[in-house]
Amino acid sequence: MEGCSSATVLLPCILLFSVLLNCKVAAAGDIIGSNQILRDNGSTIVSSGAHFELGFVTVGSSANRYVGIWYKKIAEKTIVWIANREAPLNTSSNLLRLNSNGNLVILNASDDVVWSSNSTASVNNPVVQLLDSGNLVIRDESEKDNYLWQSFDNLGDTQLPGAKLGWNFETGLERYLTSWKSLDDPSPGQYTDHIDRNGFPQLMTRKGSAIASRAGPWNGIRFSGTPNLNPNKIYTYGIVSNDKELYYHYEAVNSSVYTRRVLNPFGQKQRWVWVENTQIWQVYHSGPIDDCDHYRVCGAYGSCNIDKSPVCTCFNGFQPKDKKGWDAADWSSGCARKENLSCVNGEGFVKHSGLKLPDTQRSWFDKNMSLGECEKVCLSNCSCTAYANTDVRGSGSGCLLWFNELIDIREEKENGQVLYIRMAASELAKKGRSKVWFVWIPILMTVTMMCVCLWVIRNKKRNKKKKQTEGITNPYFENGGSIEMGAEDLELPLFDFTTLANATNGFSKYSMLGEGGFGPVYKGMLDDGKEIAVKRLSKDSRQGLKEFKNEVSCIARLQHRNLVKLLGCSVQEGERILVYEYMPNKSLDSFIFDKMKGYTLDWPTRYNMINGIARGLLYLHQDSRLRIIHRDLKASNVLLDLEMNPKISDFGTARICGETETGSNTTRVVGTYGYMSPEYATDGIFSVKSDVYSFGVLVLETVNGKRNKNFAHLDHNLNLLGHAWRTYIDGNVLDLVDEVIEDLSPEHQYEVFRAIQIGLLCVQQYPADRPTMATVVLMLTSELPLPQPKQPGFFIERNVHEGDSSSCSSNYCSVTAIAPR
């Protein structure tokens, strides 16, 4: 009896020991065998070189559990791949193992399979291995290079060195990136990044089924739309194209330097590099970089240049399809030929250099043709609209033909390509006649310039002393009168031109912060180490001379914590230069319209910015020695200091009114569409209420994170003001809040509601209905009941190009001179 009792106790122990022998727990190593499991208890496997680690993990603030791969040696857990991104686990009683079919599976606490590798191949002794490349593979234990399944064939949002982005024609497999839904949710988001092979292959990003941005076709060196993608010492890259495969790949030059290519939740493709010295991830390359990178911003036969205003122009021989829309900065309708093609003798091609090639969907190509042969083939086909080389290396090779409208073109300062556009015979004849003038005009200009130079040399010494003592007279004339500025008018220090040239490295392009309507702005450093911003008036800017004097006379007399400080100016060497305090965080638009930077702006920061801008405007309108109407208040004219305090800048278009005046009218309307009040844009009537309207637009943009002009929504074609008004009358005001602003407390929700209502009060149709800035500041800083707003001015619904929600530009057109209606 006693022996039986001992056997009864011993038998379960033997069985348990047997089970443990046959079902080992995976420990530190890089392999999970067929008889091993990986539990959700902190157990992991590590690649042989300790570069990558695999295990159960959480993402961001979410409590969900996932099987993921991350960098082993980086303290900040950076996840590069997730298995069950569509099937998160909500407990920690989970495990990962190979099943009897050789598939890698994830089991939840109920032993249900929530994810499987779904490999159809089978082997006798399968193992799972985490490679030093970050690739997770299933293979036969005895065959190291024969993968039955691999994570590199099932990409998430990250492409690691060695991973292929593209097609395997033999199996039909397409490898592409899919963004996360949000930074805390790795489930598939809206964006995909893939090689499109419908025509000449090109790299593009889609939002759902619509094209969001396009890097363009591979030209032998880089993708046509990525001029900044250059050979470097961090990674090599290229395209492999043959009968079996078509893919983009890259390799790290030094395996100890970590780099990854990520498609983020907002549709941006980012190249990250780990900087060991600073222990941070650094963005090495990113795209889209500006609005010209958004798909078909300028429509058909339109070319985008972010440095021009407006950013979209038609090619020579083309004109806007919708002139009214084009003048209102809606370029989505594109351009049309002035003279239609008729496929008759005399048609030919016009060469355009420095371009991102048009969309190559439904194009035709032959990599073995010469450019001359390419021209002949295109000319012989009446449907052919343009041609170019497929490969730009050396003298160029290959032939690429287009048969439809040319879409999604931008001008590239560097590394742009040559495109030959087909033109009607009559247009080519006009161009030929214009060439005659191109011969004579330089000759006439040379003679004229020689005469001018002689006159300048003769009078230089005589005028120099006069300029220093009596003031400086501009050698340009506007409306028949000269513009004079004496030293007594400046009321601020004068800088030596040489000092400013040295501070900006000779006004180097590498010191340039940006370029406005009247000239470039440079970052500089004085001899004492003080950082400055130097605004240099373009010499060929006729408008800018008046604005220069206007800006000096306005801002030199103003002192307020929410206005940018003017430190001095220079009027030597025929230059007109303004020197400002340097704002390290640049302008407000670079934050609120950038999804990644937008995450750094929580609601209290945004609300502080709104209050600061309001106080700055109140000072201009009421509290300063002068009554000043800014006339061009917009996000790009609000600069941010180191503590993110807003400072209103750019007073070139401002107007000084008398103490009892609150407005005036003009035949020369200046400002920016999207911010201009209705009465100013249409009738040239401006007042302090015009600035109030601009402030209201800025408030709504700061809350929403999108521009008013060309605002896009899936449910309607209203601009931002219209959308804000709709959410307000529907009682869904919080739907307007930027998606990157998370976890609003009840107090912050109340502030958001008031800010939106104040914004709507400021953008009402009629000036008399809008509050003054004194009232606005009171409303922002108190809990007084707010009046109900009326419908906004410029409450419009636009026609958006069918099927392409990305066709609208989020650029603004800076207006310099239009006649009021």
What is the residue type of 249? H
Pairing of strands 36-39, 24-25: parallel
- pLDDT for the residue 449: 77
- List pLDDT tens digits, range 647-662: 998 877 778 765 445 5
- pLDDT for the residue 488: 44
- pLDDT for the residue 608: 95
Pairing of strands 481-485, 173-175: unpaired
pTM over 0.85: no
The count of other CB atoms within 10 Å of the CB of residue 683 is 13
- Going across the sheet that includes 147-150, the strands are 31-32, 126-130, 136-140, 147-150
- pLDDT for the residue 109: 92
Q: How far is the C-alpha of 724 from the C-alpha of 716, rounded, in Å? A: 12
The list of the chain residues with pLDDT below 50 reads 1-27, 436-437, 465-490, 542-543, 659-660, 667, 798-821
Helix or strand holding residue 239 (H, E): strand 235-241
- pLDDT for the residue 487: 42
Residue 684: C-alpha distances to residues 326, 444, 676, 679 (Å): 20, 39, 10, 7
Cβ neighbourhood burial of 341 (10 Å; 0-12, 13-18, 19+): middle
- pLDDT for the residue 480: 29
3-state secondary structure 150-208: EHHHCCCCEECCCCCEEEECCCCEEECEEEEEECCEEEEEEEEEEEECCECCEEEEEEC
Q: Which residue has the tokens 């941005």?
A: 213
- pLDDT for the residue 815: 37
- pLDDT for the residue 399: 97
Contact predicate 406/302, CB 8 Å: no
- pLDDT for the residue 231: 85
Q: For residue 334, which of 406, 416, 422, 410 has the smallest C-alpha distance?
A: 406
Of the listed 196, 359, 408, 632, which one is catalytic? 632
- pLDDT for the residue 820: 28
Q: What is the CA radius of gyration of the chain?
A: 32
Active site residue 632: yes
- pLDDT for the residue 34: 86
- List pLDDT tens digits, range 77-115: 999 999 999 999 999 899 999 998 889 999 999 999 999
Domains and CATH numbers, the chain: 15-154 (2.90.10.10), 156-289 (no CATH), 293-431 (no CATH), 483-582 (3.30.200.20), 586-821 (1.10.510.10)
Task: Please list the alpha-helical segments (H only) found in 381-535.
Answer: 425-470, 487-490, 497-503
- pLDDT for the residue 230: 84
Q: How far is the C-alpha of 37 from the C-alpha of 88, rounded, in Å? A: 19
Q: How far is the C-alpha of 570 from the C-alpha of 638, rounded, in Å? A: 24
Q: Which residue has the tokens 């009892």?
A: 660
Question: 3-class DSSP state for residue 36?
Answer: strand
Q: How far is the C-alpha of 417 from the C-alpha of 222, rounded, in Å? A: 11
